[in-house]
């Protein structure tokens, strides 16, 4: 019995469930390492943005997908990290110390936001975080001595251990390392009692509280960790663009982040990166499609917003689990082929009803 217990425990703490996952994730990592030699500079820059948004998406996924807290002002944490990084590196602070401080300041702001929001949930929490986003954006615009106001603020190339990361390849590898570390950190967090407490709060706050989970503590902690990851992403975002201004961290950016995790797949770590891929590649697809559309439609203002809205509504209605949910169904179809049953992947009405009443 002792041997069986030990085997089950080892399986429980294992990051990869089977050898197939080890193989495919290793192949993906090797492909990402080889990307600078295989793709043009422009697409490498887009891949870098995917990694940056993936880090931010991990934080928002932890908050919304795993803890069930709705945030419409998450771009504010992105901006706090970006401006903290800009201020500290401009003062000569080393890159690693500056990005750590950016994460810490963003986490502290997350705690400040999380405490008043403890009594709010659903759309009311969304409105509160939206108001916070407007406040932070206004602070960025008015605090000119630190942020540069509406004129913006320039950043230098990051300096790591005395080496200036001037090339896009070097900065890409920096983002890749931080994205891998953030992913491993979130995966380990979700397997810990803290991560399970987050999921319990998402499923039912009453049930979680009855099991002894302190809602105030874990909700605030979720906000802090989510904001810290957004702060790291904001610091990398600022260095990548080398220029930041308040309008980059407004409500539209927050909506893009929400769109990213919803389309990627709420409640999945993979969904953060799948949503980031969608967010970065979709404007390119729209730009290519304009060449084949009538001129009145192609030149119409707000075309991208309309496309995003249609895609979001389509996912909410027909694939609420997002891109990752669609991949799980496709994988199951291949596993069961040719013994699958027709209609087995259709969303049941009973599930829709229970989801509305939850």
What is the per-residue pLDDT across 89-135, written as a single tens digit (0 to 9) for each? 888 888 899 999 999 999 999 998 888 777 777 778 888 888 888 89
The rounded Cα 132 to chain-centroid distance in angstroms is: 19
Q: What is the rounded end-to-end Cα distance, in angstroms, of the chain?
A: 40
3-state secondary structure 25-53: HHHHHHHHHHHHHHCCHHHHHHHHHHHHH
349 pLDDT above the threshold of 80: no
Which of 87, 82, 60 has its CA nearest to residue 73? 60
pLDDT band at 10 (very low <50, low <70, confident <90, very high): very low
Query: Mean pLDDT across the stretch 238-262?
Result: 88
Q: What angle do CA 94, 95, 98 make, to 5 degrees?
A: 85
Tokens 């999945």 label which residue?
268
* Residue ranges in the chain assigned as alpha helix (H): 2-13, 19-38, 41-60, 75-90, 95-114, 123-142, 144-147, 168-191, 193-203, 205-210, 215-241, 251-264, 269-289, 295-298, 303-318, 322-336, 349-357
pLDDT, position 358: 41
Helix (H, G, I), strand (E, B) or coil at 154: strand
Q: What is the DSSP letter of 158?
A: P
- List of residues 6+ apart from 25 with CB closer than 8 A: 16
**Cis preceding linkage at 338, omega within 30:** yes
pLDDT, position 297: 74
């Amino acid at each position: 019995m002792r041997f069986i217990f030990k085997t089950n425990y080892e399986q429980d703490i294992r990051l990869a469930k089977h050898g197939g996952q080890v193989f495919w994730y290793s192949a993906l990592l090797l492909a990402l390492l080889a990307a600078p030699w295989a793709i043009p500079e422009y697409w490498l820059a887009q891949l870098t943005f995917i990694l940056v948004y993936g880090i931010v998406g991990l934080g928002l996924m932890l908050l919304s997908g795993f803890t069930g807290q709705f945030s419409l002002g998450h771009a504010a944490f992105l901006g706090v990290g970006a401006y903290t990084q800009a201020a500290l590196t401009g003062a000569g602070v080393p890159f690693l110390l500056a990005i750590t401080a950016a994460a810490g300041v963003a986490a502290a702001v997350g705690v400040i936001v999380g405490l008043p929001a403890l009594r709010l949930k659903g759309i009311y929490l969304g409105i509160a975080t939206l108001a916070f986003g407007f406040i932070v954006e206004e602070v960025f615009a008015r605090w000119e001595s630190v942020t540069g106001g509406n004129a913006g603020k320039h950043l230098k190339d990051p300096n790591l251990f005395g080496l200036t990361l001037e090339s896009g390849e070097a900065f890409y590898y920096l983002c890749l390392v931080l994205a891998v570390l953030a992913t491993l950190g979130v995966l380990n967090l979700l397997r810990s009692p803290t991560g399970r407490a987050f999921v319990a709060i998402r499923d039912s706050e009453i049930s979680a509280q009855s099991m002894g989970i302190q809602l105030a503590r874990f909700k605030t902690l979720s906000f802090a960790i989510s904001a810290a990851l957004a702060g790291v992403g904001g610091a990398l975002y600022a260095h990548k663009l080398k220029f930041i201004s308040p309008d980059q961290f407004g409500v539209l950016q927050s909506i893009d982040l929400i769109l990213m995790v919803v389309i990627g797949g709420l409640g999945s770590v993979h969904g953060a990166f799948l949503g980031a891929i969608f967010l970065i590649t979709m404007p390119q697809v729209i730009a290519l499609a304009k060449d084949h559309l009538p001129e009145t439609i192609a030149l119409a203002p707000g075309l991208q917003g309309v496309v995003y809205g249609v895609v979001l509504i389509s996912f909410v209605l027909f694939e609420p689990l997002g891109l990752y949910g669609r991949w799980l169904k496709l994988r199951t179809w291949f596993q069961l082929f040719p013994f699958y049953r027709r209609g087995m992947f259709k969303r049941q009405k009973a599930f829709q009803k229970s989801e509305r009443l939850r």
